[in-house]
Amino acid sequence: MAQLTLDDLRRVLIACAGENDGVDLTGDILDVPFEELGYDSLALMESAAAIERESGIPLSDDAVTDADTPRALLELINGVAVA
């Protein structure tokens, strides 16, 4: 699978955990903490499980919940720094 983009992550988050009222996910959210985006650890685990199934990349729950921003999570998944 190609590298996961912020758009991909956005799509997975919304599909797996919905969207919080009053939060705009369409902007530049790379460095906005998940907590501010309204996603808790369960929302991230649910989304990570979907990404694992699509990509085949194994992701540990601990590593996923330690990733506190979209940038950190994308780096974890892609294994490279996000520009």
Partner 1 sequence: MTSSSTPRVVVTGIGVAAPNGLGREEYWKALLAGENGIAELTRFDASRYASKLAGQIQDFEAKDHLPSRLLPQTDVSTRYALAAADWALADAGLGPDSPLTDYDLGVATSTAQGGFDFTHREFHKLWSQGPEFVSVYESFAWFYAVNTGQISIRNGMRGPSAAIVTEQAGGLDAVGHARRTVRAGTRAVLTGGVDSALDPWGYASQLAGGLVSTATDPEAAYLPFDTRAGGHVPGEGGAILITEDADSARERGAAHVYGEITGYAATFDPAPGSGRPPGLRRAIELALDDARLAPDGIDVVFADGAGRPDADRAEAEALAAVFGERGVPVTVPKSLTGRLAAGGGAADLASALLALRDQVVPHTAHTTSVPEAYGLDLVVDRPREAALRSALVVARGRHGFNSAVVVTAPTTA
Q: Which residues bind partner 1 (CB under 8 A)?
A: 14, 16-21, 38, 42-43, 45-46, 49, 52-53
Closer residue to partner 1 in complex, CB, 40/81: 40
Closer residue to partner 1 in complex, CB, 21/28: 21
Supply the minimum distance, in Å, between the C-beta of residue 3 and partner 1. 22
Q: What is the DSSP letter of 5?
A: P
* Residue whose C-alpha is closest to residue 61's, from 41, 81, 35, 40: 41
Q: Burial letters for 21-39: b for 16+ Cβ neighbours within 10 Å, e otherwise?
A: eeeebeeebeebebeebbb
Supply the minimum distance, in Å, between the C-beta of residue 83 and partner 1. 30
